[in-house]
Each structure stands twice: as structure tokens, then as C-alpha cells.
Amino acid sequence: MQPKDTFFSRKLTINCKGELIDLSFPKVMGIVNITPDSFYDGGKYTSAESLISQIDKMILEGCDIFDIGAYSSRPGTQGVTEDEELKRLSIALKVIREKFPKIIISVDTFRSNIARQVVQDFDVDIINDISAGEMDKKMFETIAELRVPYIMMHMQGTPENMQENPQYENIVKSIVMYFSKKIDELSLLGVNDVILDPGFGFGKTLDHNYQLLKHLDDFKIFELPILAGVSRKSMICKPLEIKPQDALNGTTVVNTLALMGGANILRVHDVKAALETIKLHAKFDQAKVENWHD
């Protein structure tokens, strides 16, 4: 029997309500922040009309997964109460599900009670947890009960304090060890549909972010899909000395590097640009040099 080759045996499907979603061709996850204070698009989608219009636009541009967030996790945020987060999500998800009953929805929350509510009440497909169960110890068992795919992100600290001098002896090794422990815990609970997000910008310095990006393919060792969320973040804005509003070109460059490192999902504000990036990278990846002779 041949030894298993982890590079070619990665689990690149997730099960959304009985339908297998193939991630071998990377997917676009569009960000829909229903918060007043997100770093780039805060306050843009607080009415039913603006929300429907934005999702319509994203569908036309080729969005695969819609990530709805009601809790801003930008550095230094003070957050919102659980009741307020659930209220925001309930209003938005009711509008979205009535208008778009079949789209794949991910909800960005670290609270297990909210995860349970949105899956049960609004048929949410995926839970996206920035804290990998650290900020709510009931999250793992809740995901096991709900039987939905789980995006598990690494973050050092909390949104309030994560950028206060983050330190690692070896950031790639540290996060690999962290994910290894978490994956074991989830596996014991029967959770197999897991997507890994190394957490660019969450408890990392500028250098940490680029070290992670350079070694993104190290996370293939887990044979699980990888999500990259770099859209318009400070890791792009700081080196270029620009604002998030001017960071689309830089985002495209970094998304390309993430795809070259094995990313299976790009979490982005700009769907059209991300899909074009994926298509061109795929063309590059598939190109073969014909044999030639003198």
C-alpha cells in the first residue's frame, strides 16, 4: 500500500445541508457587515434596501458564500452585547432569507447561542468563529449539535487587545500547533467540516502577517480547506501608506499570493475583483510548457 500523500488528499469539500460544496476551485466569500463601525464598510448596509441591493450586486458578480457579521472585530473595538448582535442579525437574515432563500450564508459570530439561533431560525449554512471557541467554550459542542461547517480562525487575544504587542517565537509553528489541538477537540465531537483561517491581522504584526502569507502552504498538512481574509486590511495599507478605500489593487496582489499558497476561499469586500483573481490564477496554475528541442 502506498503511503498517503497529504498534498493530494486534502479534504476540499464541505457539506452544507446535504449538498457537497467543492472547494478545489477556490470560492469567493463576500463580506456583508451590518455594523455601524466596521473598518471599511461600516454603516453601509443598515437598511433592507441597501442590504438587498448589495447582495444582488454580489450575486451578479459571482459570489459563492455570503458572510454576514453584526459584531465589528476591528482592532480596539469594544464590541456589542449578545442581545444587540442577535437583534441586528435577525433583522438582516429575515430580509435576506425572504429575498434569497437559496444562497449560502455564513454568520460571523463567536457566540454559541447566536450560532444556534441563526442556524435554527434562518437556515444559516456555515458558522465563522474568529476565536476558534476561545471566547465561548460551548461553541465546539454547539457546532457538533448543529452539524454545520465551521470556520475556525486563529487570534491572539481578543479584538479589544489583540494588537497590543503580539509576540510569537515562531508564528507559523505556533499556529500549526494551535490548530492541531483544536482539530483534535473537534474531531472527538464528530465535527469534520472544518475550514482553517490563520487570522491575518488578528493578533499579528505586519511582519507576522507576511510570514504567515509566505508559509500559507504549511497549513496543507491538516488536509483541510484554507480561508484567507486579507481584504483591504492594514497589512496592505501600511506598507503602501494608503487608506482601506484605496487598497483594492493591493488586496488583489495579496489574494493572488494567498491562492499560490493554497487558499481555497477568499473572504473579500470586492467580489468581482476576487473572482477575476481566482480565474487568472487557475489559468496560470493549469498552464503547461510544451516540450521543445534544439
- Selection from 169, 167, 228 nearest residue 203 by Cα: 167
Q: Map grid coordinates 453601509 to a residue.
A: 44
DSSP string for 237-260 = HHHHT--GGG-HHHHHHHHHHHHH
Check 147, 204, 267, 288 and give the catalytic one. Answer: 267
Question: Is 233 known to be catalytic?
Answer: yes
- Selection from 50, 139, 126 nearest residue 91 by Cα: 50
CA 126 to chain centre: 11
Check 233, 238, 243, 272 and give the catalytic one. Answer: 233
How far, in Å, CA of 83 to CA of 72, rounded? 15
How far, in Å, CA of 20 to CA of 138, rounded? 26
Question: Is 267 known to be catalytic?
Answer: yes
| Grid cell of 277 as nine digits | 483573481
Active site residues: 233, 267
